[in-house]
Structure 1
Amino acid sequence: MHETEASLIFDARDVVGESLAWDERRERLVWVDIIGRRIHRLDPSTGAHESWPTGDLVTSVGLRKDGGAIVGLRKEIALWDFGGPFRTLAAIEADRPGTRLNEGVVAPDGSFWVGTMANNIGPDDAPVAITSDEGKLYRVDPNGAVTMLSEDRFGITNTMVWLADGRFVTADTMKNALYSYGWDKKAGRLGGALPFFAGFERGLPDGSCLDAEDYVWNCRVVGGRCLARIAPDGRLDRIVELPCSWPTSCAFGGTNLDTLFVTSARFTMSAEHLDANPHEGGLFALRPGVRGVPANRFG
């Protein structure tokens, strides 16, 4: 499979597929459908698929060192064991009814970093316009303590990757920009934001992952139809075309971590568009010629 031949491997039909992670112990992909209110697990080699309904919005998922999962819900971070109840570990912005959780990723130190945003999903699951920057970044440590990481505000928090030199890279989808931050370990806070990659004309930035060469692979949502591979210095390295218009998150997986998997969304799309493009919301795979790095685990 060459990089230009991304193919559909699972017709998930997710409303908003997100937060893809590769569980190397079980050789399974794990991801969420935020608005579809479900968590997926897939063996890409056999097609064996499991799905769990979540009752309310489920916004992110990560892996734990003990083999379970850590899950972002609408307002809570919970521990979960691929079945059974969610066990609340922390509440985020319980005093801000107009916000919800969005991106969440396990950090190299075993904590869970999560972003918030103004709620953009109405009671009927129709889109609600975002009119202000309400998003913040938080760190949840294994005992449930929550720390706000920065005073910066975001329209939509997306992308959380940690470069080899210690920089943290994150995106604001609304501003079509990725930023890098230094990490003040002593203070437990992020430093000031520096521009990393901005103004790219295809779509907007959604989720990202790192490869073993420390390059960032960024999904270009809202019609971008591609992945952008970005060098550690913020230079555009290459563009990989995709057969979906809203790619949302990506992760390297497979036995050798040499397959790049991509989730997608069908949120806001017309019935006419979906009739013509029935695989929107599917899970795709390609082999870009580089390997990834294992997912961090919580705990």
Structure 2
Amino acid sequence: MSTRYDIAVRAEALLGEGATWDADAARLIWVDILGCRVHTYDPATGHRTVRTTGRHVGAAKPRAGGGLVLSLRDGVALLDPDGTFGWLHHDPVPGRRANDAAVAPDGSLWAGTMCDDETPGGATLTRHAPDGTAQVILPDVTVGNGAGWSPDGTLFYYVDTATRRVDVFDHDPDGEGAARLRDRRTLTTIGTGFPDGLTVDADGCVWVALWDGGAVHRYTPDGVLDRVLEVPAPRVTSCAFGGPGLRDLYLTTARTGLSRPTPLSGSVLVVRGAGQGLPQPAFGG
């Protein structure tokens, strides 16, 4: 049976990414990494905003005190509600940029990076605490991508796209640096396309967007594929639950690198009533 989609935002984003539901504002936040833009969308009113960052932006997440935390090419920054910009952690590395990111249950930002030329092992997954402290959680990453936690916070799911795997770790919130994660193992290996962004639902199942796979897959905690949503755009980059009751699944897509993009490549799509999402924490800074 085909999946029914609505077009939430018709756009031509080069690299749409980072779908995030901002519960306090009842809006969707998403970014165009290569377009250097942060977008918001209010599904109740249709109101949209666009902010140009002037540099590649891998993710934008709401802050507990208002405003946004931005994972940018040269580090992590804070954007206040009045538009004031300031660096939380400025760490420019030539040839490296931000990619996807997620906020952990403790309010820290776990930000992935990648090299422009996708140098194997040239990037990291780094934990950014609200006080600006940064700790490398995973070194030797190639394309840092989707990240998320189980409903009880004891498991961490992660995608390094180059591996074509979704991995799972035991998560220790009291560990230091890399000691926060233990016992890395494979949840699933993707055969068609490449795993990109992910989200975890209230049942503990993992939804994975597939770059060059034109789909979103849902996997049980045991790694069993139990649902496939086919998407009318080949490069699906992220997924997040939002809307009333966190029942609607929002998807970002990309058109970069496509010789013949589909009409919806670069748009944000939504599947109504797709499942039951989890409330996502805001960044604590």
**What is residue 210 of structure 1 aligned with on the other side?**
200
Cα distance in 1 between the residues matched to 2:273 and 2:141 = 31
Report the Cα offset of residue 133 of structure 1.
Answer: 2.0
Report the Cα offset of residue 245 of structure 1.
Answer: 0.9
What is the RMSD of the two structures over their aligned residues, measured on CA atoms? 1.7
Q: Output the amino acid matched with 1:87.
A: G
Q: TM-score, normalised by structure 1?
A: 0.89
Q: Output the amino acid matched with 2:203.
A: E
Cα distance in 1 between the residues matched to 2:66 and 2:59 = 17
Q: Output the amino acid matched with 1:290.
A: G
Q: Does 1:284 align with 2:269?
A: yes
Cα distance in 2 between the residues matched to 1:117 and 1:281 = 21
How many residues end up aligned between the 2 structures?
Answer: 280
Q: Residue 288 and residue 192 in structure 1: after superposition, are their counterparts in 2 closer, same or farther (change >3 A)? A: same
**What is residue 107 of structure 1 aligned with on the other side?**
104
Q: Output the amino acid matched with 1:239.
A: V
Cα distance in 1 between the residues matched to 2:192 and 2:121 = 22
Q: TM-score, normalised by structure 2?
A: 0.93
**What is residue 15 of structure 1 aligned with on the other side?**
14
The 5 A counterparts of 1:1-299 are 4-81=3-80, 84-92=83-91, 94=92, 96-119=93-116, 129-151=117-139, 153-165=140-152, 166-188=154-176, 189=179, 190-198=181-189, 200-221=190-211, 223-270=212-259, 273-274=260-261, 277-299=262-284
Cα distance in 2 between the residues matched to 1:13 and 1:117 = 23
Equivalent residues of 1:3, 1:289 under 8 A apart: no
Report the Cα offset of residue 195 of structure 1.
Answer: 1.1
| Larger fraction in strand | 2
Equivalent residues of 2:74, 2:90 under 8 A apart: yes
Extract unaligned runs of 5+ from structure 2: none
Equivalent residues of 1:61, 1:105 under 8 A apart: no
Report the Cα offset of residue 175 of structure 1.
Answer: 1.4
**Percent identity between the two aligned chains:** 35
Report the Cα offset of residue 201 of structure 1.
Answer: 2.1
Equivalent residues of 2:151, 2:278 under 8 A apart: no
